[in-house]
Amino acid sequence: MLRRLFTAATLTLAMTAAYPQTPLPPINADTEAVFVKLTAHAGVKQAVDFIKADDERTLKDQIELTEIAAPPFKEPVRANEYQKRLKALGLADARIDAEGNVIAVRKGSGNGPVLVVSAHLDTVFPEGTDVKVKVKGNRYEAPGIYDDGRGLAALLSVLRALNQASLKTVGDIVFVGTVGEEELGDLRGVKALFRDNQGIDGFISLDGLDIGRIVNQATGSRRFRIIYTGPGGHSFSAFGLPSATHALGRAIAKISDVRTTDEPKTTFTVGTLKGGTSVNAIAAEAELGLDMRSNSAAELKKLEDRIMALAREAADDENKRWDKKDVIKVAFKLVGDRPAGAGQLDSPMVHAARRGVATVGGEVRSIAASSTDSNLPISLGIPAVTLGGGGVGGGSHGPSEWFSPVNAWLGPQNTLLTVLSLVGVDGVTAPLLPKRVR
């Protein structure tokens, strides 16, 4: 019955991954009661309808923001533009913090929870990448067009809807554009956000497209540069000295034979290699880039300990091969640390997100694990989910990344309803999101 209040639609799955599914508990009575009141409220219905009418404007924002390059560690130009747009929508306090995050608060009536809704400003693409959006029918192609240009634009649509319907919330809504979500940014933006702001009660990230996929499990990762060094020398006259590149090869062979668990999913890869100076020189230095991931912090630690031991063993083997001792040395440099964690399936945050999807006519197909800005709050025990921004797309992190605005308004509609249920609407509903004990 509630679904008739909103537009139902057939959703096209944009990015699908298979995850073992635990049967979901029924949506609890408190959440159902709140959504009954929300969907009957004229102002809320006005806001939801506005988002659909705002769809073309949201796509325009998405294209314009995508065409502002935001390479890793070089997000300021896009950040300045995002700050400007938040201010234009009435959030006069919009600021850029010391780390580069854009932060703006839409104050509630008081005594409610503080909920962050965010999207990330950065892309994976290096400086100089052509980010001009190319239109091919109903398909828009450009690096970063949906990861996370869509999330940034959807947040602006949610804010416009709140303003259009003059909705006053009980809790505060903090709109954030984060830096450092991608590549070796190592979640530096969201880490700074929680380091510098102790009063956050809940967190929502918009990342990806499919509203039928709710992320509340944090896939952790540890990334290292493993560096082998030695004296080096001429390939003929110095023959007999251990080689940094040979040690590196031994390490890769050992690492490639490591076995990991399927559940919890745990993975590794040697992604990059470099070293040596000449084809006729014994290498003095060589290094590899290692990525390790797991949905379990304990499994991730076990994997790290195992691979570090093998890397040291490779140096020892290379030294022994030439009857030397401690000539080749190995060092480890941590370059990425994304904490793992698991949110509760029965939390108010997940119930609200599931009910939001159902209300706009969608279906939750998976409660998933992924690596997003939500990793940090989940690891801290703070309720957090990552939601889809709506529409369909493909080619994420590639030069031919594309987006099509098929039923795209469902993303910001779902976000709006989820947010309103969590922070409460003044005089209509109490917040579902509890305030944390400080």
The pLDDT confidence band at residue 25, using thresholds 50, 70 and 90, is confident
267-281 tens-digit pLDDT: 999 999 999 999 999
pTM: 0.90
Residue 47 has pLDDT above 70, yes or no: yes
Task: Answer yes or no: is pLDDT of 8 > 60.
Answer: no
Q: Please give the average per-residue pLDDT across 175-197, as a whole number.
A: 96
* Closest by Cα among 329, 373, 368 to 117: 373
Residue 2 has pLDDT above 50, yes or no: no
Confidence of residue 17 (pLDDT cuts 50, 70, 90): very low
| pLDDT tens-digit map of 298-345 | 999 999 999 999 999 999 999 999 999 999 999 999 999 999 999 988
Closest CA to 416 of 54, 1, 83, 82: 54
Whether the per-residue pLDDT at 290 is higher than 60: the answer is: yes
Contact 417, 365 (CB under 8 A): no
3-state secondary structure of 406: coil
pLDDT at 1 over 70: no
pLDDT-based confidence at residue 189 (cuts at 50, 70, 90): very high
Structure confidence at residue 11 (pLDDT): 34
Quote the pLDDT of residue 19.
43
End-to-end CA distance of the chain: 40
Predicted pLDDT at 22: 63
Higher pLDDT: 112 or 11? It is 112
Give the tens place of pLDDT for each residue, 198-222: 999 999 999 999 999 999 999 999 9
How would residue 24 be classed by pLDDT, with cut points 50, 70 and 90? confident
The pLDDT, as a whole number, for residue 23 is 76
Cα–Cα distance for residue pair 265/277, rounded to 1 Å: 38
Q: Cβ atoms within 10 A of the Cβ of 137, count?
A: 6
pLDDT tens-digit profile of 231-254?
A: 999 999 999 999 999 999 999 999
Determine the 3-state secondary structure of 132 from DSSP.
coil
* Integer Cα distance of 176 and 190 in angstroms: 9
Q: Which residue type, as a one-letter code, is found at position 342?
A: A
Give 21's pLDDT tier (boundaries 50, 70, 90): low
Give the pLDDT confidence of 421-438 residue by residue, as tens digits: 999 999 999 999 999 976
Per residue in 370-423, pLDDT (tens digit) is 999 999 999 999 999 999 999 999 999 999 999 999 999 999 999 999 999 999
According to the model, what pLDDT value does residue 6 have? 41
Quote the pLDDT of residue 15: 33
In the three-class reduction of DSSP (H, G, I as helix; E, B as strand; rest coil), residue 9 is classed as: coil
The answer to whether 41 touches 137, Cβ cutoff 8 Å, is no
